Amino acid sequence: MSVETSRSVILLRHAKADWPQVSDHDRPLADRGRKEAPSAGARIETLGLTPELALCSTAVRARETWRLAVPELSKRPRTVYEDRLYEASLGELIALLNETPDEVADLLVVGHNPGMHALADALAGDADGDVLARMRRTGFPTAALAVVTFTGGWKSVEHGVGTLTEYWTPTQV
């Protein structure tokens, strides 16, 4: 696959989590989150996106989100559970994207805020557009989904490299 290939990064924030007396990393999904997660998977399928690779945070709420979303996809991507996604900074998230093999055209990342919102915003850069304006206005609620497209290799991913082509939240169902 050429590095000039059109690529997509699909950013999915974990669904709504509960607040039991456990560590933050071990927080499970709330009832609302268990309803939101399949909707996010269905939206990915509706968009016709077929990620070859999914990077998922090791946090319980992120793993549960992915477990409930993936059955909605017609093709299950290879999944890597990535410790570095938990509490990742924007720079750490971009570094993870830079490590993606160029054989991967479409990548899905299941992570947390503020990282998912910051990454979508940074990759889209200063470009104007209704989708970007709506995301900036509404934030990045639980189970929100953003798709950023770009051309080039994963090692070239940096601020402003892409276009935010999709922004979806569960309230849009």
**Which residues are known to be catalytic?**
14, 87
Nearest C-alpha neighbor of 66 from the set 88, 47, 87, 85? 85
Task: Provide φ and ψ at 131, rounded to 5°.
Answer: -65, -45
List the structure tokens of 131: 């989708």
Phi-psi region of 5 (alpha: psi -120 to 50; beta: other; left: phi over 0): beta
Count the Cβ atoms, other than its own, within 10 Å of residue 144. 26
What strands, in cross-sheet order, belong to the sheet with 6-13?
78-82, 53-57, 106-111, 6-13, 145-151, 163-168
Q: Minimal CA–CA distance to 54: which of 69, 39, 38, 34?
A: 69
Does 67 belong to an annotated binding site? no
H-type alpha helices, 87-142: 90-98, 115-124, 130-138
Amino acid identity at 80: V
Q: Which residues are annotated as a binding site for substrate?
A: 61
